[in-house]
Amino acid sequence: MKKFLFALPTKIYFGKGEFKKAGEIINKEVIERDKRIFLITGRNFAQKSGLVDSIKNQLRRIIIAHFNGITPNPKVEEIETAAQIARKEDINLIIALGGGSVMDGTKLAAALAVSGGKLSDYFKAENKFRGSIPVIAIPTIAASGSEADPYAVASDPERKEKRGFYSPFFYPVIAIWDPELTYSLPLSTTADGVVDIISHSLEGYISGEKAALQNGFTEVITREVMNSWEDVRRGKNIEQARERLCWASTLAISPFLSAGRGGHFVLHAIEHAVTGIYDSIPHGRGLAALLIPYLSVVGRKRGDRVSSFTKAIFDIYHWETGLKEFKSWMEREGLYHTLSELGVDDIHLVEEKAWETGKERYISVDMTRDDLREILERSK
């Protein structure tokens, strides 16, 4: 294994009913007497479901502001607006109530409020965030794992670019993870999350160092996610299945998998080029179109990694045969998509952007520009 420093500074309250105790948890954990809380949500689910009213009732008089302007694939302008509100209202705690986009947008706004400047300044690797307003994450979908990781993503429509960011300041101080909030999600939204979880756990498995323990975690998480999705889709043991999906989403992108294994998010780098240009496409659906083509092309150079995966999941060691079974499973279970079906009509533009923004990561799997082109062509 590679050397590593392990840290998971997020305290996680997990379980059915935890959201109803959010006010109690926050008042116990956050010791500042003069709490000035900023609530950030998306435009639809958190409000229509009654979650916004619930959290406001639990934290009466200390939620100073509410911004409901974060959209899927969060935009630079939205994040900068939220950061301005945080500075203007002298906020000292921010609650992110929503899915991965809301949590990512909140983490970036919290860091930008402290660090200053424009978010576009931090598209340059040499510019680092200097701190953050503390964030409490309350996820409403099993997908991104953003409730307990140091990553965030933002889109810049002017550049047609979607960028991933890393900072140790992005870890939320607390996550309140109540699977009950996911019970009423549509199957299509749940499906997008399922593909995201599987993709997160697979990234380092394919691109990182060989690490038996961490790779074993990936295999177990993938099997649990697949079985749980089958249960949810068939209306079987739904509460238990959604619980497993929620915890799997946290673990899949956590330091438990990356420590000692490392690796790069190659598949995500390609997908970011897709949804940076076509930002109405859900992230999970973009990944679903790219996943099998990516593994098929990279398998020619890392066949041992892909073979280990298909052996563990499908009991098929030959990686090409195993990937055919993986694709068949995705098709049977309503998870498979193509870029054409999703409305992507300019593969050449996607290729240009994907190479421009992700080529440093592609080195980890010996991926060339021709390989990238083939992945995209196979995804059509």
Per-residue pLDDT tens digits for 121-135: 998 888 899 999 999
**CATH entry 3.90.1180.10 includes domain 11-181:** no
Reported as type and span, the H/E element at residue 274 is helix 266-277
pLDDT at 92: 96
pLDDT at 274: 98
Average pLDDT, the chain: 96
Average of pLDDT values for 154-167?
A: 94
- Tell me how crowded residue 356 is: count the other CB atoms within 10 A of its CB: 10
CA distance 304 to 62: 55
pLDDT at 149: 97
Average of pLDDT values for 192-196?
A: 98
Per-residue pLDDT tens digits for 67-124: 999 999 999 999 999 999 999 999 999 999 999 999 999 999 999 999 999 999 998 8
Say whether pLDDT at 31 is over 80: no
Fold of the domain built from segment(s) 186-378: Dehydroquinate synthase-like, alpha domain (1.20.1090)
Helix, strand, or coil here: 313? Answer: helix
Contact 154, 112 (CB under 8 A): no
Any idea how long the chain is?
380
CA proximity to 152, closest of 302, 265, 262, 3: 265
Average of pLDDT values for 21-48?
A: 91
Domain layout of the chain by residue ranges: 11-181, 186-378
Q: Do domains 11-181 and 186-378 have the same CATH topology?
A: no
Per-residue pLDDT tens digits for 305-340: 999 999 999 999 999 999 999 999 999 999 999 999
pTM: 0.96
pLDDT at 61: 86
Q: Considering the chain, what percentage of its residues have pLDDT values greater than 70?
A: 100
CA proximity to 91, closest of 77, 109, 104: 109
pLDDT category, 188, cuts 50, 70, 90? very high
